[in-house]
């Protein structure tokens, strides 16, 4: 009898330990209070979705089912029934942007978001709790969470040019970002090795420029071998992906790579490139991969491309690149030289700046803001509302903030997940060998002499997955992305002092 009592006592205390076990949520929430007891999800649980977040109702329903095995009855509106689960938008709650409160009690579950994205952030926390291995299926431990992001911009870039990833793969990628409370998907749609976005006024960009292989305008590259390789997204596809992402709280920033990394463009429309007296190679060994700055018609073409892109993507920003431009091309081009002379320029960075400012005027015309890689800081002034993606190193981000530009920190040395994760693995290594620990060690607001106001210009963090090496093995995309994106999500979201 005594022995039995002892066993029961041990059993009960182990249950308690289980109950009290810390919920591991990624990214780590700001404030989490666990309480004794659990809410048992009724088999026909009711979910109420605020009208303001109606567009996400299917997503909420589907993912709740996936993570709990319980099919909910969903209604739109502000319900607050006992044993129900409510998703409410409440701008008045006292939390920073995109914050949320999650309350699980014996009465049910209430998620209140400061914004629609706040509600979705709360949903992700709920889903992680429901599927945690410590939590008994069909139950939710009592908990009170107050949570909000450290940075407003938590992004991830995917290069779909060097390798093409179909619409479904991109959607899956977005799903995983959403699960990590990331809010920006930077879609690198064009590069030397394939143009992936249908532009109706320039059909050959995709009819020709999206394909490489025998008899195609582009040579095989990055493992595409002796076959026709490529693909592109129609405008309908891109709009569909935009809506898919929006329902998950993710904005898509398209990138149109100009004026460099443009071999796919000049292969489809040779007249867009310079007529050079000497052929020179870009950093990645490409020839003829630069837009001619001196050809006036090119700016009309850019106008139509940017117009079509801005019609498809509702996000505020368009990324227009500006990195690794092989300016030697312009130095051997009579039209570019004539422009240089006319403008009184003495070095080719000024041409780059000229090009960028013309592009910026077009982007402004379509009511968008420009984002560019840190090289656009060279050669002269640009619009003060330009957003800089600082990729070459932390110091480039510091310089950008010092010069007064809003800045996204994405140093290749920490946040390029195309970098190999250890000495013996496939992947780039030019920036670093980056394992998860190294990625996690990144601090976006570095110790430096930035003033508090300059620090505020650092809008957030972003990772990048360039796809030169992603041709094999299958699912290498996921292998390179995770868990490093999990680490990145916590850098972007959680409080610095909670990093562990």
Binding site for ligand TNX (CB under 6 A): 323-324, 373, 391, 416, 418, 428, 466, 468
Task: Tell me how far, at minimum, the Cβ of 115 lies from ligand TNX, in Å.
Answer: 31
- The nearer residue to ligand TNX, 61 or 323, going by C-beta atoms, is 323
Nearest to 229 by CA among 274, 155, 164: 164
- The nearer residue to ligand TNX, 291 or 373, going by C-beta atoms, is 373
- The nearer residue to ligand TNX, 68 or 371, going by C-beta atoms, is 371
Task: Tell me how far, at minimum, the Cβ of 284 lies from ligand TNX, in Å.
Answer: 7
- The nearer residue to ligand TNX, 27 or 209, going by C-beta atoms, is 209
Task: Tell me how far, at minimum, the Cβ of 194 lies from ligand TNX, in Å.
Answer: 13
- The nearer residue to ligand TNX, 289 or 494, going by C-beta atoms, is 289
Task: Tell me how far, at minimum, the Cβ of 260 lies from ligand TNX, in Å.
Answer: 9
Burial code (b: 16+ CB inside 10 Å, e: under 16) for 66-96 equals: ebbeeebebeeeebeeeebbbbbbbeebebe
Task: Tell me how far, at minimum, the Cβ of 373 lies from ligand TNX, in Å.
Answer: 5
**Residue 375, burial from CB neighbour count under 10 angstroms (0-12, 13-18, 19+):** buried
Task: Tell me how far, at minimum, the Cβ of 291 lies from ligand TNX, in Å.
Answer: 16
State which residue has the least CB distance to ligand TNX: 466
- The nearer residue to ligand TNX, 293 or 325, going by C-beta atoms, is 325
Could you give the CA distance from residue 101 to residue 143 in angstroms, rounded to a whole number?
Answer: 10
- The nearer residue to ligand TNX, 151 or 469, going by C-beta atoms, is 469
Could you give the CA distance from residue 138 to residue 187 in angstroms, rounded to a whole number?
Answer: 37
- The nearer residue to ligand TNX, 103 or 415, going by C-beta atoms, is 415
Structure token pair of residue 494: 């959680």
Task: Tell me how far, at minimum, the Cβ of 325 lies from ligand TNX, in Å.
Answer: 11
How many Å separate Cα 161 from the centre of its chain? 16
Contact 151, 459 (CB under 8 A): yes
- The nearer residue to ligand TNX, 121 or 407, going by C-beta atoms, is 407
Task: Tell me how far, at minimum, the Cβ of 375 lies from ligand TNX, in Å.
Answer: 8
Contact 146, 101 (CB under 8 A): yes
Contact 492, 460 (CB under 8 A): yes
Task: Tell me how far, at minimum, the Cβ of 322 lies from ligand TNX, in Å.
Answer: 9
- The nearer residue to ligand TNX, 248 or 263, going by C-beta atoms, is 263
Could you give the CA distance from residue 309 to residue 166 in angstroms, rounded to a whole number?
Answer: 19
Task: Tell me how far, at minimum, the Cβ of 416 lies from ligand TNX, in Å.
Answer: 5
Contact 464, 157 (CB under 8 A): yes
- The nearer residue to ligand TNX, 335 or 428, going by C-beta atoms, is 428
Task: Tell me how far, at minimum, the Cβ of 480 lies from ligand TNX, in Å.
Answer: 11
């Amino acid at each position: 009898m005594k022995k039995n009592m002892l066993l029961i006592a041990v059993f009960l205390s182990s249950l308690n330990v289980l109950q009290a076990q810390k919920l591991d949520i990624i990214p780590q929430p700001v404030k989490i209070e666990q309480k004794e007891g659990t809410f048992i999800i009724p088999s026909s649980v009711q979910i109420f979705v605020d009208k303001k977040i109606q567009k996400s109702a299917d997503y909420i329903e589907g993912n709740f089912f996936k993570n709990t095995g319980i099919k909910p009855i969903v209604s739109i509106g502000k319900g607050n029934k006992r044993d129900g689960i409510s998703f409410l938008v409440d701008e008045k709650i006292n939390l920073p942007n995109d914050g949320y409160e999650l309350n699980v009690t014996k009465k049910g579950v209430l998620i209140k978001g400061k914004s629609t994205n706040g509600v979705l952030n709360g949903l992700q926390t709920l889903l992680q709790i429901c599927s945690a291995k410590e939590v008994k299926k069909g139950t939710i431990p009592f908990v009170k969470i107050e949570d909000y992001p450290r940075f407003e911009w938590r992004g991830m870039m995917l290069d779909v040019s060097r390798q093409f990833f179909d619409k479904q793969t991109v959607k899956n990628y977005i799903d995983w970002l959403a699960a990590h409370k990331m809010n920006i998907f930077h879609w690198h749609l064009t590069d030397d090795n394939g143009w992936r976005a249908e532009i109706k006024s320039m059909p050959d960009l995709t009819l020709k420029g999206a394909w490489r292989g025998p008899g195609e305008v582009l040579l095989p590259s990055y493992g595409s071998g002796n076959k026709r390789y490529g693909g592109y997204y129609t405008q309908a596809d891109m709009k569909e992906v935009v809506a898919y992402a929006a329902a998950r709280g993710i904005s898509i920033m398209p990138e149109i790579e100009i004026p460099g990394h443009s071999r796919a463009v000049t292969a489809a429309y040779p007249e867009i490139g310079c007529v050079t007296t000497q052929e020179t190679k870009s950093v990645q060994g490409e020839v003829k991969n630069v837009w001619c700055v001196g050809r006036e018609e090119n700016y009309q073409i850019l106008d139509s491309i940017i117009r079509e892109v801005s019609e498809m993507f509702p996000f505020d920003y368009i990324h227009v690149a500006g990195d690794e431009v092989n300016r030697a091309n312009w130095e051997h081009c009579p039209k570019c030289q004539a422009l240089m002379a006319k403008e009184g320029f003495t070095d080719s960075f000024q041409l780059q700046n000229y090009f960028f400012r013309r592009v910026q005027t077009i982007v402004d015309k379509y009511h968008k803001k420009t984002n560019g890689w840190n090289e656009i800081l060279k050669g002269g002034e640009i619009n003060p509302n330009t957003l800089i993606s600082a990729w070459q190193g932390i110091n480039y981000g510091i310089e950008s903030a010092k010069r007064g530009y809003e800045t996204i920190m994405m140093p290749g040395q920490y946040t390029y997940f195309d970098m190999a994760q250890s000495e013996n693995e496939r992947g780039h290594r030019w920036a670093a060998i980056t394992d998860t620990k190294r990625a996690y060690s990144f601090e976006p607001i570095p110790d430096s002499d930035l003033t508090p106001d300059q620090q505020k210009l650092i809008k957030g963090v972003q990772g990048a997955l360039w796809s030169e090496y992603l041709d094999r093995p299958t699912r290498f995309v996921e292998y390179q992305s995770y868990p490093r994106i999990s680490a990145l999500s916590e850098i972007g979201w959680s409080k610095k002092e909670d990093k562990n």
